[in-house]
Amino acid sequence: MTSNLEGTEPPVIAEVRDLRVHFGSKRGRVHAVDGVGFQIRDGEMLGLVGETGCGKSVTGRAFLNLIPQPPAIIAGGEVLFRPRGGAACPACAGSGCHACGQTGGETLDLLKLPQDRMRQIRGARIAMIFQDPGKALNPTLTIGVQMAEVFLQHKSDELLQDAGISADDRNLAANALRRIAHQEDRWLDRRLKRFPPLRQAAGRIQQALDARVAAALAETQIANPLRVMRAYPHELSGGMRQRVMIAQALACDPDLIIADEPTTALDVTIQARILELIKTLQERHRTAVLYISHDLSLVRKVCDRVAVMYAGRVAEVGTVSDVFSNPRHPYTQGLLAAVPRAGARRGHLASIPGSVPELVNPTPGCRFADRCSQVMPACTQLDPVLGSVGEGHSVACFLEHPPHAGAAKIEKALTE
Amino acid sequence: MMQPPKTDSTVAMKAGDTLLSVRNLNKHFPIKDGILQKVVGQVRAVDGVSFDIRRGETVGLVGESGCGKTTLSQCVAGLTDPTSGEILFNTGQGSQLGDGDRIDKLPKDRYRTFRRNVQMVFQDNFASLNPRQLVVDIIGRPLKVYREASGSDLTERVVALLEQVGLGRQHLYRYPHQFSGGQRQRISIARALALDPELIILDEPTSALDVSVQAQILNLLGDLQKERQLAYLFVTHDLGVVRHMADRMITMYLGKVVEQGPTETVFQQPAHPYTEALLAAKPDLADDPDKPFALLEGTIPDPARPPLGCRFHTRCPRVTPSCGWEIDDIVRFLEADESLFQSLQGVERRSARDADLIFKDPASAVALQEAMKSSSVPEAMRAATERLTVEGSRLRATFSEVDEVQLTERGPEHFAACKLDHLSR
Ligand SMILES: Nc1ncnc2c1ncn2[C@@H]1O[C@H](COP(=O)(O)OP(=O)(O)O)[C@@H](O)[C@H]1O
Ligand SMILES: Nc1ncnc2c1ncn2[C@@H]1O[C@H](COP(=O)(O)OP(=O)(O)O)[C@@H](O)[C@H]1O
Ligand code: SF4
Ligand code: SF4
Ligand SMILES: [Mg+2]
Ligand SMILES: [Mg+2]
Ligand SMILES: [Zn+2]
């Protein structure tokens, strides 16, 4: 990747390369994600936009190994991630090289990570915020208990430290408390807790835990954290539940947050506040965010860069100001023109004709070809690939990068 | 394109005539509690709403979820009986609407005219289209019920309707689930068009659709309106869509109309702080991207206990001392303070504006008294406090009486319910 060489930009902490996720169906193989690639830089907010079904959520879930297989088939590609403060890059032993994007840190392929490593990463280094916090929160546990689990799972050493507990007590106390938090404490744990030394220890851990949970909630501007901790999810409003999700996602200070339509279910007034909150916290913690949305105006407002997806591929990627003020892909142009705006005469919005193609056993060619007003013969024969049209601005369209016979042959050879 | 025959009622009417009039409409839902399901309160989902819809125009209805938009539209469509108030419908008896046009008092034949002339399109077309019926039966049903057509004539009428919404004969014998969301919305629109209505009520018709599909549906609705002189009541929470579609718009908050007027006027000079806040919260592609979000604080209060005076006063960034401060505002303030709230033992009310708050200890009463004199409460609230005395562990608070807020005229056809005469910018 050439962009790695630019020393001034923050390092690339995550990269999706040629990701292909297919789904088996009665009618054939659905190429839901079919060669997606983009980079996420440290501390940036990257928007991922596109219409329903274009593969945004599947791409986002790939970061956390949350793609159910079956029905999904990971048909190829890599999802690379470089945790901050991870092990040293084996190629350069930490001095910075091409393989590690000059970070000196190790590069993990999240798709190949064993389950237990993934569990360590999930929540601690990469966290996810979903559209519907009601579904992501456990209805049978109080908010306090659910939040505590995150800390118990990833920060138990620090908790014991906060509570001033010696190394000998560690396992016994921590294990007992973990079971208590999961509401599966055994008869023995309850007996153990009555032993004065352990009772005190457990009490101190609980205090340390409560303090951390309260602080995490307070950071999302929840007015009364202690009351919210005692509440069950159904007792909170949608906006409040989304704040809890954000607090949970930020709890362990992750390097990357995947936010999948985090405000779609909320009213505009609440949406504005949640977005402002995500933006503020993201800047404060310097967390990178992959912000998945179908709302173009929101993405333009909160993101640094944006990748536009169409039918399982990235059509265009660049800074929000480049993509929104100078869209180069016909699909991006059509999408922006379709947004109702002041002055457009009623019944005369520019609309993209037709509908999203079915992705069952697709043939080569631009996925947008049957809706594109500028379609050319080559468009139905060859796959356009992302190519630069300006600094940090790339487009996958033959209007920008005409195919020439040689390239076409090579490409065909490569894909076979 | 084939036009179904005009019904009698449409002959006498001109564009701009009042088609439907809503007068002081109320719809309250009882809140039931306990095993005996005793009624413990009322949700005033629609509370004293009045407006007109004229032939051929689009009226936009906006507001946050729960403000009563759906309930109001269902009353207007005749699908729900209002608790009180009137809906008048012009069935072609003359242009001046009166008591004889109340839909709940219409004789049978004129009531039928009302029902066939007012149709509804819902957001959730999964729920509103019968999954076990074929498209031909879904769209043909109103024609059958009103004995407009049968047999092959019916099928041809359905084909004509499908063509009007951009579908065709090949779609007749399919089930709803075989269509995309946008296509299902086209089917809903075709069904609504079947009886050639005067008014279609659209409840969030494009909220579940992607922007490119939304553009197609909005264009279709615009074209149909022009061809058929349709009136729309267009319910949405998307202000960009309202601006594009509506000639006039209505903003609702907690069951009440807080502003109404010509759309462009309201967008350029909102007269109600709530409309202003809604406009500011919605980012627009034409905005300066660096402009900060204008944030509206707080959540929508419980509709079973709407705030006194102006219902928006708990969140209004421009609130004044005369906006309706009340004891519940102190309770809301206490809810955000864990220790004081824990110490609160009870509230003895003389009225909504005058009460004793009883605490566990005198210190808490004093702490609240201090807080209420400080900048922890809005300045307007402090100014509205007439009495704030502590006696032992009791704090007595009294707020000044104020007049109700009424809709007042702000310009041609422009009304707002706010104590402020104009919003300085
Ligand atoms: N569990 C699943 N089973 C079968 N197909 C799926 C599943 N999840 C996603 N897909 C397919 O993947 C495509 C992309 O889905 P998704 O990533 O959720 O889209 P987006 O988030 O952009 O709306 C869908 O069109 C669908 O065909
Ligand atoms: N059938 C019902 N029974 C009780 N309360 C209802 C019912 N329908 C609506 N409500 C209440 O009335 C208020 C207005 O709801 P609704 O008209 O759906 O608002 P909107 O469409 O603006 O979101 C809400 O507080 C809602 O909870
Ligand atoms: S590659 Fe061809 S079909 Fe695809 S967007 Fe460009 S011009 Fe249109
Ligand atoms: S009357 Fe006007 S100023 Fe007062 S609270 Fe209501 S909207 Fe705000
Ligand atoms: Mg999705
Ligand atoms: Mg509704
Ligand atoms: Zn290296």
CA nearest ligand 2 atom 1, residue: B29
Chain A CB contacts of B338 under 8 Å are 224, 226-227
Distance B259 CA to ligand 4 centre (A): 12
Q: How far apart are CA B355 and CA B352, in angstroms?
A: 7
* Pocket of ligand 2 contains residue B45 by CB under 6 Å: yes
DSSP sequence for B214-256: HHHHHHHHHHHHHHHT-EEEEE-S-HHHHHHH-SEEEEEETTE
Q: CB-CB: which of A275, A344, A347 is closest to B226?
A: A347
Chain B CB contacts of A223 under 8 Å are 335-336
* Pocket of ligand 2 contains residue B74 by CB under 6 Å: no
Q: Token pair 């993209």 is at which residue?
A: A352
Distance B321 CA to ligand 4 centre (A): 9
With CA atoms as reference, the chain A residue closest to B289 would be A301
**Which atom of ligand 2 lies closest to the CA of B64?**
22
Chain A nearest CA to B272, separation (Å): 15
Q: CB-CB: which of B65, B244, B284 is closest to A297?
A: B284
Q: How buried is A171 (Cβ within 10 angstroms: 0-12 exposed, 13-18 middle, 19+ buried)?
A: exposed
Which position has the higher pLDDT, A226 or A198? A226
Decide whether B8-246 matches B327-399 in CATH topology: no
A347 CB-side CA count, 13 A:
9
Bridge partners of residue B344, in order along the sequence: B359
Instruction: Give me the count of residues in chain A.
Output: 416
The enclosing H or E element of B41 equals strand B38-54
Residues 6+ apart with CB under 8 A from B95: B13, B17, B18
CA nearest ligand 1 atom 24, residue: A53
Asked if residue A135 has pLDDT above 90, the reply is no
Cα A53 to Cα A27, A102, A131, A294, A297: the distances in Å are: 17, 35, 15, 11, 19
Chain A CB contacts of B293 under 8 Å are 272-273, 275-276, 301
Which position has the higher pLDDT, B423 or A324? A324
* Pocket of ligand 4 contains residue B402 by CB under 6 Å: no
Note the helical H segments in A129-221: 133-136, 143-154, 156-162, 167-181, 187-194, 196-219
- Mean per-residue pLDDT of chain A: 83
**Which atom of ligand 1 lies closest to the CA of A59?**
17
Establish if B296 touches chain A: CB-CB under 8 angstroms: yes
Sign of CA dihedral B343, B347, B352, B354: negative
Distance B204 CA to ligand 4 centre (A): 27
Chain A nearest CA to B106, separation (Å): 35
Q: How far apart are CA A385 and CA A406, in angstroms?
A: 15
Determine how β-strand A256-260 pairs with β-strand A126-129.
parallel
Distance A411 CA to ligand 1 centre (A): 28
Closest CA to B272 of B411, B139, B146, B87: B411
- The pTM for the full model equals 0.87
Establish if B214 touches chain A: CB-CB under 8 angstroms: yes
Q: Token pair 């009870």 is at which residue?
A: B346
Distance B107 CA to ligand 6 centre (A): 31
Establish if B213 touches chain A: CB-CB under 8 angstroms: yes
Asked if residue A357 has pLDDT above 70, the reply is yes
**Which atom of ligand 2 lies closest to the CA of B204?**
21
- Between A and B, how many residue pairs show a Cβ–Cβ distance under 8 A? 133
Which position has the higher pLDDT, A275 or B126? A275
Q: How far apart are CA B4 and CA A399, in angstroms?
A: 46
Asked if residue A277 has pLDDT above 80, the reply is yes
The enclosing H or E element of B46 equals strand B38-54
Sign of CA dihedral A316, A319, A322, A324: positive
Residue A404, token pair as written in the block = 């020439």
Chain B nearest CA to A121, separation (Å): 33
Closest CA to B56 of B228, B201, B263, B223: B228
CB A228 within 8 A of CB A240: yes
Q: How far apart are CA A395 and CA B395, in angstroms?
A: 67
Asked if residue A92 has pLDDT above 90, the reply is no
Mutation pick from B206, B226, B244, B302 vs chain A, by most beta carbons of A within 10 Å, is B244
CB B377 within 8 A of CB B222: no
Q: How far apart are CA A354 and CA B180, in angstroms?
A: 11
Residues 6+ apart with CB under 8 A from A11: A4, A41, A42, A82, A101, A102, A103
Q: What pLDDT score was predicted for residue B4?
A: 47
Cα A78 to Cα A17, A37, A75, A354: the distances in Å are: 5, 9, 10, 33
Which position has the higher pLDDT, A27 or A31? A31
- Domain topology for A9-125+254-359+385-403: Rossmann fold (3.40.50)
CB A74 within 8 A of CB A104: no
pLDDT interval class at A187 (50, 70, 90): low
Which position has the higher pLDDT, A327 or B151? A327
Chain A CB contacts of B171 under 8 Å are none
Per-residue pLDDT of chain B (425 residues; tens, 9 = 90+): 444 444 444 445 566 789 999 999 999 998 877 777 777 788 899 999 999 999 999 999 999 888 999 999 999 999 999 999 999 998 876 668 888 889 998 899 999 999 999 999 988 767 788 999 999 999 999 999 988 888 889 999 999 999 989 888 999 999 999 888 888 999 999 999 999 999 999 999 988 888 888 998 999 999 999 999 999 999 998 899 999 999 999 999 999 999 999 999 999 999 999 999 999 887 788 777 777 777 787 778 888 888 999 999 999 999 999 999 999 999 988 887 778 888 999 999 999 999 999 999 999 999 999 999 999 899 999 999 999 999 999 999 999 988 889 999 999 999 999 999 988 76
Residue B234, token pair as written in the block = 């267009």
Q: Do B222 and A271 touch (CB under 8 A)?
A: no
pLDDT interval class at A331 (50, 70, 90): very high
CB B402 within 8 A of CB B307: no
Establish if B210 touches chain A: CB-CB under 8 angstroms: yes
Chain A CB contacts of B337 under 8 Å are 224
pLDDT in tens, A50-88: 988 899 999 999 999 889 888 899 999 999 999 888 888
Query: Which of 1.10.760, 1.25.40, 2.60.40, 3.30.1360 would CATH assign to domain B327-399?
Result: 3.30.1360
Residue B90, token pair as written in the block = 């012009």
Residues 6+ apart with CB under 8 A from A187: none
CATH number, span B8-246: 3.40.50.300
CB contacts under 8 A, B 45-84 vs A, are 58, 64-65
Q: What pLDDT score was predicted for residue A19?
A: 96
The enclosing H or E element of B144 equals helix B135-145
pLDDT interval class at A1 (50, 70, 90): very low
Which position has the higher pLDDT, A170 or A214? A214
**Which atom of ligand 3 lies closest to the CA of A329?**
5
Residue A189, token pair as written in the block = 């744990």
pLDDT in tens, A100-129: 878 888 889 999 999 888 888 888 899 998
Helices A196-219 and A238-250 pack at an angle, to 10 degrees, of 120
Residue ranges of domains in chain B: 8-246, 327-399
Q: What pLDDT score was predicted for residue A20?
A: 96
Closest CA to B329 of B359, B298, B365: B298
Whole-number percent of chain A with pLDDT over 70: 84
> How many other β-carbons are positioned within 10 Å of the β-carbon of residue A184?
9
Establish if B201 touches chain A: CB-CB under 8 angstroms: no
Q: Which among A4-13, A213-222, B318-327 has the top mean pLDDT?
A: B318-327
Establish if A26 touches chain B: CB-CB under 8 angstroms: no
Mean pLDDT value of segment A227-235: 87
Residue ranges of domains in chain A: 9-125+254-359+385-403, 139-251
Q: Do B225 and A347 touch (CB under 8 A)?
A: yes
Chain A CB contacts of B243 under 8 Å are 340, 342
